[in-house]
């Protein structure tokens, strides 16, 4: 009896001190230790990045935030993150624009539309996609996706080049652009967003849906009125997980993107770069100082990721009233 009372989420107020057994103490120690370990690791990463980064940035001969080129091995060294920050954000943004609606669609289909016999193999397939290593995506992207996107590129260039962003400076150049990278990243993050969204959709209280049905709602109206509002913060969490992978993706981007220090609004031009891609490309041949410089760029990526996650937390906190799942 006692155990049931004390282990409940909201124990009733009682004067009697709670019974603790050795197992409780061990478990408390373990879970507190894990929590502290996480904080220590985060702090260690932040301190390491900051110390090495400050050293490099202080010796940078040009403005770290506005310079396009990355020439850390020159004397005097001159490097900056403008192109990298732009490329990272833009490619991830393209990925999110494509991946979030598709993933939510897949997750809704699996949980609310598909017949059970189809739903579980489909869910299994999506899980499988999440397990493919990024270098495999990179190879597939470079060898298959790039040549096959050329047609789409030309089409966009012909009909949408008035928008500016879909104007391709040299139509005969290969589709090794931020646009292609965005599409590849989208494919890579779809399984993550789908999986998490699916779990959230599963947790929508049956009573909400049945209530909507009882009021005469169609299936689409049920999804719109009871499923989506309940799952909104969960979808945002899922998207943030996906965005995290997109921001930090390395090998797939390094294989597909034709990197160069040019900041172009034209998404189809084979130019640009991302933080992770630049680190992968420059790390092997970098000397000590060059590595510090790359670490400085890593710190910026770290900060961008923190900011994005913080923003997501804020949004979720605001919508807390709907969510029982991810509060």
Partner 1 sequence: MKLTRKTGLRSLAVGAIAVSSALVLTACGSDNNSGSSSPSGGSSNAAASIKCGSKANLLASGSTAQKNAMDVWVKNYMQACSGTQINYKPTGSGAGVTEFLQGSTAFAGSDSALKADEVTKSKAVCKGGQGIDLPMVGGPIAVGYNLPGVDNLVLDAPTLAKIFNSQIVKWDDPAIKKLNPNAKLPSTSIQAFHRSDESGTTDNFTKYLKGAAASDWPYSGGKAWQAKNGQSAPQSSGVAAQVKQTAGAIGYFELSYATASNIPTVKIDTGASAPVAATSDAASKMIADAKVVGTGNDLALKLNYATKADGAYPITLVTYEIACDKGNKPDTLDATKAFLNYIASDDGQKGLSSQGYAPLPAEIATKVRSEISSLS
Contacts with partner 1 by CB under 8 A lie at 69-74, 142, 147, 170, 172-174, 176, 254-255, 257-262, 270, 277, 280-282, 284-288, 290
* Closest C-alpha among 77, 91, 79 to residue 296: 79
Question: CA 39 to CA 306: how far, in whole Å?
Answer: 14
Q: Which is nearer to partner 1, 9 or 170 (CB)?
A: 170
3-state secondary structure of 94: helix
Least separation in angstroms between CB 281 and partner 1:
4
Q: Which is nearer to partner 1, 90 or 312 (CB)?
A: 90
* Closest C-alpha among 52, 55, 196, 54 to residue 126: 196
Q: Which is nearer to partner 1, 286 or 315 (CB)?
A: 286
Q: Which is nearer to partner 1, 217 or 262 (CB)?
A: 262
How is residue 162 annotated by DSSP?
G
Least separation in angstroms between CB 116 and partner 1:
17
Least separation in angstroms between CB 173 and partner 1:
6
| 41 Cβ contact partners less than 8 Å away, ≥ 6 residues apart | none
The H-or-E segment that residue 68 falls in is: none
Q: Which two structure tokens, joined as six digits, stand for 281?
A: 């490309």
Least separation in angstroms between CB 166 and partner 1:
19
Least separation in angstroms between CB 31 and partner 1:
40
Least separation in angstroms between CB 324 and partner 1:
38
Evaluated on CA atoms 297, 299, 303, 308, the torsion sign reads positive
- 88, 159, 290, 301 from 252: Cα distances, Å: 13, 29, 23, 17
Q: Which is nearer to partner 1, 100 or 253 (CB)?
A: 253
Question: CA 202 to CA 108: how far, in whole Å?
Answer: 9
Q: Which is nearer to partner 1, 235 or 281 (CB)?
A: 281
């Amino acid at each position: 009896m006692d155990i049931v009372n004390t282990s409940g989420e909201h124990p009733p107020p009682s004067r009697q001190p709670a019974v603790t057994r050795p197992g409780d103490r061990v478990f408390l120690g373990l879970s507190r230790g894990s929590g502290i370990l996480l904080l220590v690791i985060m702090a260690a990463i932040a301190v390491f990045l900051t110390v090495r980064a400050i050293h490099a940035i202080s010796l940078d001969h040009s403005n770290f935030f506005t310079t396009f080129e990355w020439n850390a091995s020159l004397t005097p060294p001159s490097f900056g993150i403008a192109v990298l920050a732009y490329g990272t954000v833009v490619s991830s943004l393209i990925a999110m624009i494509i991946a979030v609606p598709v993933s939510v669609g897949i997750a809704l289909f699996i949980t609310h539309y598909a017949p059970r016999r189809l739903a579980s193999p489909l869910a299994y397939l999506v899980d499988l996609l999440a397990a493919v290593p990024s270098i495999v995506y990179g190879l597939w992207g470079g060898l298959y996706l790039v040549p096959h996107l050329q047609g789409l590129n030309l089409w966009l260039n012909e009909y949408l080049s008035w928008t500016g962003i879909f104007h391709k400076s040299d139509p005969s150049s290969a589709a090794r652009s931020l646009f292609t990278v965005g599409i590849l990243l989208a494919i890579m993050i779809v399984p993550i967003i789908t999986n998490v969204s699916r779990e959230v959709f599963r947790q929508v209280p049956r009573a909400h849906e049945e209530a909507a049905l009882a009021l005469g709602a169609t299936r689409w109206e049920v999804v719109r009125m009871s499923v989506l509002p309940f799952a909104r913060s969960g979808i945002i969490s899922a998207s943030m997980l996906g965005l995290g992978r997109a921001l930090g993706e390395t090998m797939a981007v390094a294989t597909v993107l034709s990197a160069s220090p040019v900041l172009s609004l034209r998404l189809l031009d084979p130019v640009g770069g991302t933080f992770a891609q630049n680190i992968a490309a420059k790390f092997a041949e970098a000397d000590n100082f060059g590595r510090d410089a790359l670490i400085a760029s890593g710190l910026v990526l770290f900060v961008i990721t923190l900011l994005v996650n913080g923003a997501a937390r804020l949004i979720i906190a605001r919508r807390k009233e709907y969510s029982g799942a991810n509060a």
